[in-house]
Copies of this chain bind each other. A is one copy, B any other.
Amino acid sequence: MVYDSIIIGTGPAGVSAAINLKVLGKNFLWFGASSVSEKAAAAELVRNYPGLPDITGKQLVWTFENHAKGLGTEPENKLVTAVYDLGGRFAVAAGTDTYECRTIILCTGVAAAKPIAGEEAFLGRGVSYCATCDGFLYKGKRIGVLCFDKAFEHEAEYLCSIAGKVCLMPMYKGCSVSAPNAEIVMKMPKEIAGGMKVEKLVFADREEAVDGIFILRASVSPSILLHGLKTDGGHILADRQCRTNIAGVFAAGDCTGRPYQYAKAVGEGNIAAHSAVEYLAENK
């Protein structure tokens, strides 16, 4: 089946978009790498979200989540790794499945990191974002695992259980993965290099030969997610109606730029949902 819309991201913008699509009676899916935005929950005290004075980030996220639940919608804990523009509709790769939809609402937050040199070029040729999807391709082989969050350690462990040799690069303190075939390197590669496929990771001081690299982060950078999407300085370019340069694709929240604020994200989620519904009505 073809869904009306797929929302990518579980922060305040994603919640607002989901609440509005639900109220407007649309048939949609809602994906995120975790059940709620970890970043949104980290705020100690939020004083400026109108209507909920002096609330912690955790309480606010809980309140948002419950609002959505109360309307009968919850995000699915799946990482979206690619969006393909099929002309008039889109295919979305989430976890190990693919779904079709007519509009996309990107609420991917601020990209925590810029793509690594070579990441985009070798996508599908040795660069993967999903251990469950592509792990089996590297049975007994040498891989790099670049892990941005403790939450993804179970994926790193799974990869260690399959691969022959693992160069594990945790980008946080206190990594607790231990496997006899894993060497921990506390550095980010400067480049992913190779010929037809990935052959090595280039560090400042040395190189590591690998057959592939898994990049485990909460979200995939929007420009990598969707080919041709216009961005500027890491932000998705969107107009006042939250329309991107691709017809049927909308963006809301921190991914569209400053100010990085709950109210701004919630407002844009609302606008993006309304714009998507308008687009659906005009393009039946």
Q: Which of B259, B265, B266, B274 contacts A259 (CB 8 A)?
A: B274
Contact of A12 among B12, B50, B54 (CB under 8 A): B50
For the residues of A in contact with B, the DSSP-based class is helix
Please tell me if A197 contacts chain B, counting CB pairs below 8 Å.
no
Instruction: Give the docked Cα–Cα distance between A220 and B54 (Å).
Output: 34
Complex A-B: 9 CB contacts under 8 Å: A48-B270, A50-B266, A51-B63, A51-B67, A263-B267, A264-B267, A264-B271, A266-B267, A267-B268
Chain B residues with Cβ below 8 Å from A270 are 48, 259, 261, 263-264, 267
Which of A23, A53, A70, A263 has the most C-beta atoms of chain B within 10 angstroms of its own C-beta? A263
In the complex, A248 has a CB within 8 A of chain B: no
Other CB < 8 Å A-B pairs besides A240-B240, A267-B270, 16 of them? A15-B50, A16-B48, A19-B47, A19-B48, A19-B50, A20-B48, A48-B270, A50-B64, A51-B51, A51-B60, A51-B64, A51-B67, A53-B70, A261-B271, A261-B274, A263-B269
Nearest-CB distance from A70 to chain B (Å)? 5
Q: CA of A23 to CA of B15 in the docked complex: distance in angstroms? A: 25
- How far, in angstroms, from A264 to B242 measured CA to CA in the complex? 11
Count of identical protomers in the assembly = 2
Please provide the 4 A-B residue pairs with the shortest distance between their CB atoms, ordered closest to farther. Answer: A267-B267, A263-B270, A259-B274, A53-B67
Q: Mark A37-75, 1 if CB is under 8 A from B, else 0.
A: 000000000011111111000001001101100110000
A63 to B, closest residue via Cβ: B51
Task: Please encode chain A, from 76 to 99, with 1 for each CB lying within 8 Å of some chain B CB and 0 for all others.
Answer: 000000000000000000000000
How far apart are A240's CB and chain B's nearest CB, in angstroms?
A: 6
- CA of A266 to CA of B19, assembled, Å: 16
Which of chain A's residues 237-284 have a Cβ closer than 8 Å to chain B? Answer: 238-240, 256-259, 261, 263-271, 274
- Complexed CA–CA distance, A271 and B258 (Å): 8
- When distances are taken between beta carbons in the complex, the residues of chain B under 8 Å from A12 are 50
- Cα A274 to Cα B260 with chains together (Å): 10
Query: In whole angstroms, how far apart are the Cα atoms of A270 and B12 in the complex?
Result: 14
A265 to B51, CA, bound (A): 13
Please give me the residue from chain B that is nearest to A21 by CB atom.
B48
